[in-house]
């Protein structure tokens, strides 16, 4: 299975960028044109991308082994990112709430990128 690690990694990275792009798009649409979010693609695609993202993370853990603390941190942050996105889209009603939620999602995303880049739970502070 280790020969597939790079495949999992590239799918994971692609889904991560798709996820943040789609999340920010959906937050923008929830403020400007909320009716668009009722379309089928807007309800299915984000869940599909986040499921693939999390599945690839789990597959990479299976390949590398669970003894890398940065991977556990990434998975925890990914779950936090998904929860924050859910709260921003489904619970936050005001523009301020949505902007704060979008900011938190972006912050979590960039911390995850730092954890992945430096392979350290300290993220960007490990440099």
Mean residue pLDDT of the chain comes to 92
Q: DSSP string of 40-72? A: HHHHHHHHHHHHHHHHHHHHHHHHH-TT-HHHH
The pTM score is 0.86
Segment 37-46, tens digit of pLDDT: 999 999 999 9
Q: Residue ranges of the domains in the chain?
A: 2-126
Residue 4 parent element (H or E): none
Query: Please, what is the angle between helix 95-118 and helix 5-32, to 10°?
Result: 170
Segment 70-88, tens digit of pLDDT: 888 988 998 899 899 999 9
Residue 108: phi, psi to the nearest 5?
Answer: -60, -45
Eight-state DSSP code of residue 121? T
Between CA 106 and CA 117 the distance in angstroms is: 16
Report, as an integer, the average pLDDT of 111-121: 94
pLDDT over 70, % of the chain: 99
């Amino acid at each position: 299975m280790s020969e597939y690690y790079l495949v999992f990694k590239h799918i994971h990275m692609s889904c991560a960028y798709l996820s943040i792009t789609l999340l920010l798009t959906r937050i923008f649409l929830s403020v400007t044109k909320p009716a668009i979010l009722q379309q089928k693609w807007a309800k299915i695609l984000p869940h599909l991308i986040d499921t693939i993202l999390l599945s690839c993370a789990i597959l990479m853990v299976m390949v590398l082994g669970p003894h890398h603390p940065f991977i556990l941190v990434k998975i925890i942050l990914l779950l936090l990112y998904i929860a924050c996105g859910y709260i921003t889209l489904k619970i936050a009603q005001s523009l301020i709430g949505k902007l704060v939620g979008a900011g938190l999602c972006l912050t979590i995303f960039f911390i995850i990128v730092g954890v992945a880049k430096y392979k350290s739970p300290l993220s960007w502070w490990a440099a």
